[in-house]
Amino acid sequence: MSTKVNVILQARTGSKRLYGKSVIPVINEPLVVLCNKRLKDSNLKVTTIIPKGKEDNYLAYILKKNKLNFFRGNKFNVLDRFKKFTKKFKDSDIIVRVTADNPFVDGKFLNKLITIFKLKNLEYLSASDNIKNLPYGIQAEIFRVKHLRDTFSKNKYVLEHVTPDIKKKYLDKKLKLYLKNYSGISKLRLSIDTFEDLERVQKIFNNYSGGQYLDLKKIIKNKKKIKRKNLEKISKVVLGTVQLGKKYFEKNVSITQGRADKILKTALKKKINYFDTAHDYGNAEKFIGNFKKKNKQNIFICSKLKNLKLDRSSKIDDVINKVNFSIFQSLNKLNCSKLENFLIHNPQDLFRSKKLYDHIIKFLNCGIIKSLGVSIYSPNELKKIKKYKKISCVQLPFNLIDYRWVKILNKKNNKLKVFARSIFLRGNLKKNKITFPYKNKKLDILNNQLKKFCYEFDKKNFFELTFSYLKSFLGINYFVIGAQKSSHIDEFEDISKVKQLNNNQKQKIIRMMQANFDVRRSDLRNWN
């Protein structure tokens, strides 16, 4: 039997510097998938080796979904992982080892190395040690299976990096190769260890034609300066997208990509560039991600953790698995590598499991999440989250009716950014008539009083009164609005021109609501 060459792509989720980098999208697909496609240009069999354990379940899911070969082995011992996978290989078979944080290594480059390895009858070849002027991140190792089997070590560094002992014994330091094709990019950093690295690599792929099959030669021939995008201001008005992804409270609405595109495009035209979405909003994340692929304009996204329904007995591995699936799925659906804001959708998940909070912090610390927050329903929940130091924002229901938040929102909070949602009571406050989902004896009184306030405060309708009222609260940073169709967004065009109520006017509304509506006896979730 002839000697076989096997390409092993090493990947994992638990990177300390950039957690989950293997599954973060680069050009419309997870990094590990991109690496596989580029390596397959070698016409060799590529197998991705990943750890066992729930932390890497999403990585396994992505590989399986894309019909890619993979093998799962010892979580803490990469060397053992390699040995188990090559158990049926011949001693003379050749292993090409590459890692999933070096996406510019391609099949053509590997074939050059393999040819050199065979012609010179080598036992070990290292791209980074044997080849001059390679950019950092164009790395690969080639060695024979027998040397892998001869490696016995308890050294943690060897167990993690597989080849240090092989390298020490068989590396030919005199062999210095020079590949002309790569001479012009020797100073480039092309590996992904940090979030800054990830952004750099994304820009390189996006700035050159060729997509996933981009040849490094093209970078040399067509050197373009990778310009940083002009920093845009985030809009104070945020587009809520639950209506894009599923039927919310209007049944006769079609849920399609075309409809979503129209709404999102209109929002950007009106300078609304901040979109609020969630894992649990049906197809909303998917629609936004597809829209992003076609739109070059800078978009800021807030998404939310799936409702995990945790309890105090939830095991750490289960928590990590569920969180990873939720966050990584959102990133891939949205076609983005970071979220401007990420919210824990169900505050009870946070209160019941400190493990949840500790794990999400990993995403915050490495830059995948810019700010972490919680979606809450009551002032009592707001009090509880104060002990979580890394939580910097909340999303809460606030409108003309709900006076529970008045004292909290009267003052500006420098530590906590507030997103006000449900500001129109599912469209009620746009219609100049409140019609709750349930009967309320004082509904007519509320409607009549609000009409009087519109006349007294010189406001055209409930819509304008609502915004004037909300803008008078210093503690609100963003307003989350929804739209069933693109024409609804036109209504928000002149929001910035709406003058806020003065303190006397604001107090009149508050006192009237307190006298006629008992918030404590109402199931607020029915209309939030």
Give the residues across from 118 on adjacent strands.
none
110 within a domain of the structure (yes/no): yes
- Work out the pLDDT band at 216, boundaries 50, 70, 90: low
Q: Are strands 237-240 and 274-276 parallel, antiparallel or unpaired?
A: parallel
User: Does residue 519 or residue 310 have the better pLDDT?
Assistant: 310
Average pLDDT rounded to a whole number, residues 137-156 = 95
Average pLDDT rounded to a whole number, residues 152-166 = 95
Q: Are residues 154 and 277 in the same domain?
A: no
pLDDT of residue 225: 47
DSSP 365-428: HHTSBS-EEEE-SSHHHHHHHTT-TTEEEEEEE-SSS-GGGHHHHSS--SS-EEEEE-TTTTTG
446 within a domain of the structure (yes/no): no
User: Does residue 146 or residue 221 have the better pLDDT?
Assistant: 146
**276-298 confidence digits (pLDDT tens):** 999 999 999 999 999 998 887 88
463 within a domain of the structure (yes/no): no
Q: Residue 451 belongs to what H/E stretch?
A: helix 443-456
Radius of gyration of the chain (CA): 28
Sign of the C-alpha dihedral computed for residues 41, 47, 49 and 50 taken in this order: positive
**In whole angstroms, what is the distance from residue 355 CA to residue 315 CA?**
9
User: Does residue 237 or residue 207 have the better pLDDT?
Assistant: 237
**31-45 confidence digits (pLDDT tens):** 999 999 999 988 999
381 within a domain of the structure (yes/no): yes
What sections of 182-256 are H helices per DSSP?
Answer: 195-207, 216-221, 242-245
Q: Are residues 21 and 167 in the same domain?
A: yes
Tokens representing 123 are: 């036992």
pLDDT of residue 517: 78
Q: Are residues 141 and 254 in the same domain?
A: no
Nearest partner of 432 among 410, 470, 462, judged by Cα: 462
Q: Are residues 248 and 353 in the same domain?
A: yes
User: Does residue 275 or residue 42 have the better pLDDT?
Assistant: 275
Residue 497 to residues 464, 467, 468, 494, 500, Cα–Cα distance (Å): 10, 10, 10, 5, 9
90 within a domain of the structure (yes/no): yes
pTM beyond cutoff 0.85: yes
Average pLDDT rounded to a whole number, residues 426-453 = 78
Q: Are 466 and 429 in contact (CB under 8 A)?
A: yes
Q: For the chain, what percent of residues have pLDDT higher than 70?
A: 90
Tokens representing 108 are: 């053509």
**In whole angstroms, what is the distance from residue 201 CA to residue 103 CA?**
8
170 within a domain of the structure (yes/no): yes
The strand order across the sheet containing 70-73 reads 70-73, 46-51, 5-10, 94-99, 141-144, 124-126
pLDDT of residue 291: 96
Average pLDDT rounded to a whole number, residues 94-116 = 94
Give the residues across from 136 on adjacent strands.
189
Q: Are strands 372-375 and 341-344 parallel, antiparallel or unpaired?
A: parallel
Q: How many structural domains does the chain have?
A: 2
Q: Are residues 123 and 62 in the same domain?
A: yes
Domain of 306, CATH number, reads 3.20.20.100
195 within a domain of the structure (yes/no): yes
**Within 10 Å of residue 78's Cβ, how many Cβ atoms?**
19
Q: Are residues 111 and 190 in the same domain?
A: yes
**Within 10 Å of residue 462's Cβ, how many Cβ atoms?**
23
Domain of 40, CATH number, reads 3.90.550.10
**448-465 confidence digits (pLDDT tens):** 999 999 999 999 888 889
Give φ, ψ of 493 to 5 degrees: -60, -40
User: Does residue 319 or residue 489 have the better pLDDT?
Assistant: 319
* Amino acid at position 489, single letter: I
Q: Are residues 324 and 387 in the same domain?
A: yes
pLDDT of residue 446: 85
In b/e form, how buried is each residue of 299-326, taking b as 16+ CB within 10 angstroms?
bbbbbbbbebebeeebeeeebbbbbbbb
Strand, coil or helix: what is 43? coil
Angle at 253 between CA 251 and CA 256, to 5 degrees: 135
pLDDT of residue 54: 95
Tokens representing 22 are: 């293997």
Q: Are residues 258 and 172 in the same domain?
A: no
pLDDT value at 228 more than 60: no
Packing angle of the helix pair 257-269, 284-294 (nearest 10 deg): 60
User: Does residue 387 or residue 487 have the better pLDDT?
Assistant: 387
Q: How far is CA 491 from the centre of its chain?
A: 30
Q: Are residues 338 and 486 in the same domain?
A: yes
Residue located via tokens 């990590």: 320
* Amino acid at position 71, single letter: F
Q: Are residues 401 and 256 in the same domain?
A: yes
Average pLDDT rounded to a whole number, residues 114-125 = 95
Q: Are residues 204 and 285 in the same domain?
A: no
Q: Are 245 and 281 in contact (CB under 8 A)?
A: yes
Average pLDDT rounded to a whole number, residues 383-412 = 93
**167-196 confidence digits (pLDDT tens):** 999 999 899 887 776 666 777 888 999 999
Domain limits for position 80: 5-221
User: Does residue 275 or residue 252 have the better pLDDT?
Assistant: 275
Strand, coil or helix: what is 219? helix
Angle at 409 between CA 513 and CA 481, to 5 degrees: 80
Nearest partner of 492 among 471, 474, 521, judged by Cα: 471
Sign of the C-alpha dihedral computed for residues 312, 314, 320 and 322 taken in this order: negative
Q: Which of 180, 196, 221 is the last residue of a domain?
A: 221
**In whole angstroms, what is the distance from residue 169 CA to residue 160 CA?**
18
Strand, coil or helix: what is 44? coil
DSSP 53-90: SGGGHHHHHHHHHTT--EEEE-SS-HHHHHHHHTTTS-
pLDDT of residue 230: 45
Mean pLDDT of the chain: 89
Count how many residues are written for the chain.
528
215 within a domain of the structure (yes/no): yes
**In whole angstroms, what is the distance from residue 48 CA to residue 214 CA?**
21
pLDDT value at 434 more than 90: no
* Greatest mean pLDDT range, 419-428, 470-479, 485-494: 470-479
Q: Are 476 and 412 in contact (CB under 8 A)?
A: no
pLDDT of residue 211: 61
Q: Are residues 213 and 241 in the same domain?
A: no
